[in-house]
Chain A
Amino acid sequence: MPNQAKKYIGVKAADTLRAAVENQGKWVYYLTMEGIDSGLSTQFAKDAMQELGEYYAEHEYSECNCVEKFVNQLMNRSMEMGQEAIVENKSDAGFDLKIGYCPMLNMWEQLTEDGEKIRDLCDVACSMFKGLAAKKGMNVEKQSAIAKGDDHCVFCFRKDDSV
């Protein structure tokens, strides 16, 4: 899989933020797997992450009432440095979030070689974007994912005109 950090190599802030997100990934892994081992499907974990996204929408993003403000809030140093994320195709209608490196995936690859399990975990973790976007009147679509063998993860955030 092409999940390799390419930027900010040896930069303390990037390394530290990546380690913090890797640790989140470890918690996502064991909390999800414990549920599955106890007979649940991954839906409980997706619901959990979606609700967390909704919480962020109502608190961290409460003032973000346009695409510009939303993007400014989203693109913190953890995103920019830790995940090598950039924003493309930004307009009043939405934007694309392109992620070059995923610390969570790096952790999951240390914990399992099961590609299907990793793709499920990726869907679980990304459910947070779904909750975040929905509460801010947007849809989000995962167009590509490093966990599926793509070079980047690309999330297309678009305003939901039906809202």
Chain B
Amino acid sequence: MLKNIQLVNDTLSKEVRFENEKRGMIYYQMVKHAVQAGLDKEKYSRAAVNKIGRDNSRSFGVYDNLPDFVYSFMNEGLISQFRPELMSMDDCKARVDFHYCPMLGGLYNMTQDAQELELLCDCAMETDRGLTSALGLEFELGKTIANGHDTCELCFKWKGDNNA
């Protein structure tokens, strides 16, 4: 049983969660049908989602330090949907934990296969890999809710020669 529990339940947050879960279900169905049409699941998913992440960088600024990026990343929309918690941060490294994932909520509506969820979740995190690579940051994904943990651990690292 996944520990993916939503606790922000005001009307608007629930409505947006419904739309974000739908996004997860669109992702699941697109991958499913691309595979049925002959494409490799992981290659297709990672390539498409990484481009989404890179495109997301359009709505971020140019940063000369890590905390400014992290505070932009933890915007109002993210807070209401993913319940992120800033676990630690210095000039080089920051860890943000997600306590809930609406994308995973949507994926879970489509399948309860643990291996499938783990793979699709990791591929979905290409959004963060694509975003951070476009901004010149490093990104590491630690434990995830899809893996049965309490939170998803996102680690952002400032590159020493970063001039983004």
Contact = CB atoms under 8 A, between A and B. Distances in A.
Interface of A: 12-13, 16-17, 19-21, 23-24, 26-28, 30-35, 38, 40, 43-45, 47-49, 51-52, 55, 59, 76-78, 111
B52 interface: yes
Contacts of A33: 48
Contact of A23 (B15, B23, B48): B23
Given A16-B16, A17-B15, A55-B110, A34 B44 contact: yes
Instruction: Indicate the size class of the contact surface on chain B.
Output: 20 to 34
B77 interface: yes
Interface of B: 12, 15-16, 18-20, 22-23, 25-27, 29-34, 36-39, 44, 47-49, 51-52, 55, 77, 109-110
A40 B16 contact: no
| Majority secondary structure, A binding face | helix
Which are the 6 A-B pairs with shortest beta-carbon distances?
A34-B48, A20-B19, A48-B29, A31-B30, A48-B33, A44-B37
A26 B127 CA distance: 12
B39 to A, nearest CB: 5
Given A44-B34, A48-B32, A77 B15 contact: yes
A77 B16 CA distance: 10
A24 B19 contact: yes
Contacts of A78: 15, 18-19
Contacts of B37: 35, 40, 43-44
A24 B77 contact: no
Nearest to B34: A35
Contacts of A24: 19, 22-23, 26
